[in-house]
């Protein structure tokens, strides 16, 4: 039996193996990491819980559709109260009530909670946020029953309850299709001083949520716009959100504007309250991301390392100028689909941000001049996407790889994509593969 399926704390080589997939894994010699994957049944969980008992510190039920409430109950029955990491993914047979009971059982030790199950609802989230004082990471990806009501209103809570809220650092709400601006406001007011990463991609949040984040920062410091309170956010991801305020926006304003009218605030004020921001994703066709907004982010967030503003149709080369001037440490930039960004902006970006490791310029009207600059300046570049850049040619691709003196990106590139670039010859694909790393990926669909 492979070593990784012999957990030290679960004695006598207990394990379940399904074909080539190990169902139990041990992270280290202390045996405090138990991973449970697919094809497990309730009796297997019961055996695990009985043999591990209080020694069990990490339990991950990933893609275990046959596990039901009975299996989860055995974890409580055998005294597994020291679980620090709990992961329940892709399971439709564990009820909301059982999840609430399990979280209540392990709440004092729980630090990381990953839930992506069909039965995760507001009651489960409330239990985790109100009863797990050490919780720092909460992942609710694609929990479609979770709504705005799952998150606490700190201004309506007694002081003791408010102070007992966990110092949450990471909150992932990707694909929670009932979560909107109201949630963002409540989250910022409840966890703004500790929260480092917030992901609201594929939710019904709108562009107004940026305003609510600024409101929350000010409310935590007296409630006036003159107060320069800040949030601790380092990463904000808003990929493919609703963007345009809809019927929900009126209720959002009532909920978020507890002390003053939220309409007196603008999205442009957001960047003034997140000076520690290192990663920003606002991707998807929208009108809210402008050159002024990106310039403000660049000026107020000098530690910015990653920015993704794909398909922001109001951006131009001015945004790239601002990033090149203020964010020399930028490592990833995605401007795919920002049709107003041309050669002048790319030239400034690659000359000012020499540490870039990832660059997406797909669909831009750039020429070989940009590619020559990339090959000459970006000696750390690992990923370059040039899909549907119709004006670049074979010579440009070669300039990226070899550079002016044979010292281009050939030693660092692991992924190069130029799909549907009609001026690029098919022969350059093999030419690239011969010069790049053996494991490098070259994507092309020339037409």
Extents of the domains making up the chain:
1-135, 303-447
pLDDT value for 4: 37
How far is it, in rounded angstroms, from Cα 196 to Cα 191?
9
**Distance between terminal CA atoms of the chain?**
51
- Which residues, other chains included, contact 388 with Cβ-Cβ below 8 Å and sequence gap of 6+? 362, 363, 419, 420, 421
Asked if 400 contacts 424 with a C-beta cutoff of 8 angstroms, the reply is no
Span 71-97, pLDDT tens digits: 999 999 999 999 999 999 888 889 999
Residue spans of alpha helices (H) in 69-207: 69-77, 96-106, 122-131, 159-163, 181-191
Strands of 201-354 (E only): list them: 235-237, 279-281, 306-308, 332-334
How far is it, in rounded angstroms, from Cα 323 to Cα 340?
16
pLDDT value for 29: 38
pLDDT value at 305 more than 50: yes
Span 260-291, pLDDT tens digits: 344 545 666 788 889 999 999 999 888 889 99
pLDDT value for 119: 87
- Do 1-135 and 303-447 come out as alike in CATH topology? yes
How far is it, in rounded angstroms, from Cα 281 to Cα 333?
10
Question: Token digits for 18?
Answer: 């399904």
237: closest CA among 271, 282, 183? 282
- Mean predicted lDDT score pLDDT of the chain: 85
CATH tag, 303-447: 3.80.10.10
How far is it, in rounded angstroms, from Cα 57 to Cα 268?
44
215: closest CA among 288, 270, 271? 270
Cβ burial of 192 (10 Å; 0-12, 13-18, 19+) is buried
Q: What separation in angstroms does the CA of 239 have from each of 36, 201, 207, 282?
A: 31, 4, 11, 5
How far is it, in rounded angstroms, from Cα 235 to Cα 231?
11
394-402 vs 368-377: helix crossing angle, rounded to 10:
10
Instruction: State the average pLDDT over residues 208-230.
Output: 65
How far is it, in rounded angstroms, from Cα 253 to Cα 313?
27
Helix (H) or strand (E) holding 431: helix 427-435
CB neighbours of residue 124 within 10 Å: 27
Q: What separation in angstroms does the CA of 212 have from each of 59, 153, 267, 272?
A: 36, 14, 9, 13
Span 24-69, pLDDT tens digits: 443 443 444 455 455 788 998 999 899 999 999 999 888 788 899 9
pLDDT value at 6 more than 50: no
Which pTM value belongs to this model?
0.86
CB neighbours of residue 181 within 10 Å: 31
* Fold observed for domain 1-135: 3.80.10
Helix (H) or strand (E) holding 139: strand 137-139
């Amino acid at each position: 039996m492979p070593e990784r399926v012999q957990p030290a704390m679960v004695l006598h080589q207990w394990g379940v193996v399904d074909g080539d997939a190990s169902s139990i894994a041990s992270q280290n010699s202390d045996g405090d990491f138990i991973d449970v994957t697919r094809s497990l049944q309730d009796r297997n969980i019961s055996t695990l819980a009985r043999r591990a008992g209080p020694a069990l510190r990490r339990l991950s039920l990933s893609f275990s559709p046959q596990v039901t409430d009975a299996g989860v109950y055995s974890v409580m029955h055998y005294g597994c109260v020291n679980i620090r990491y709990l992961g329940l993914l892709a399971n439709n047979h564990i009820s909301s009530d059982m999840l609430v009971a399990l979280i209540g059982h392990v709440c004092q030790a729980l630090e990381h909670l990953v839930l992506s199950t069909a039965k995760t609802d507001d009651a489960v989230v409330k239990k985790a946020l109100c009863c797990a004082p050490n919780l720092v990471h909460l992942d609710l990806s694609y929990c479609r029953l979770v709504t705005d009501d799952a998150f606490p209103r700190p201004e309506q809570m007694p002081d003791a309850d408010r102070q007992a809220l966990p110092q949450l650092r990471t909150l992932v709400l990707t694909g929670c299709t009932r979560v909107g601006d109201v949630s963002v406001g409540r989250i910022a007011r409840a966890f703004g001083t500790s929260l480092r990463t917030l992901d609201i991609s594929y939710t019904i949040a709108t562009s107004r949520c940026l305003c609510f984040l600024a409101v929350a920062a000010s409310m935590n410091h007296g409630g006036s716009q003159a107060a320069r309170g800040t949030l601790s956010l380092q990463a904000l991801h808003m990929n493919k959100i609703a963007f345009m305020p809809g019927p929900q926006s009126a209720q959002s304003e009532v909920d978020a504007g507890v002390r003053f009218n939220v309409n007196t605030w603008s999205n442009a004020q957001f960047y003034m309250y997140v000076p520690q921001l290192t990663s920003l994703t606002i991707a998807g066709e929208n009108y809210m991301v402008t050159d002024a907004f990106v310039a403000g982010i660049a000026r107020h967030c000098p530690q910015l390392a990653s920015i993704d503003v794909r398909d922001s149709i109001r951006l131009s080369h001015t945004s790239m100028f601002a990033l090149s001037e203020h964010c020399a440490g930028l490592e990833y930039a995605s401007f795919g689909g920002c049709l107003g960004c041309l050669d002048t902006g790319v030239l400034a970006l690659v000359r000012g941000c020499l540490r870039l490791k990832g660059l997406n310029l797909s669909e831009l009207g750039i020429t070989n001049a940009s590619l020559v600059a990339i090959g000459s300046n970006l000696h750390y570049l690992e990923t370059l996407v040039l899909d549907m850049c119709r004006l670049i040619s074979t010579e440009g691709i070669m300039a990226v790889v070899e550079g002016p003196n044979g010292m281009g990106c050939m030693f660092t590139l692991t992924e190069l994509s130029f799909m549907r670039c009609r001026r690029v010859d098919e022969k350059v694909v093999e030419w690239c593969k011969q010069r790049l790393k053996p494991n490098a990926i070259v994507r092309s669909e020339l037409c």
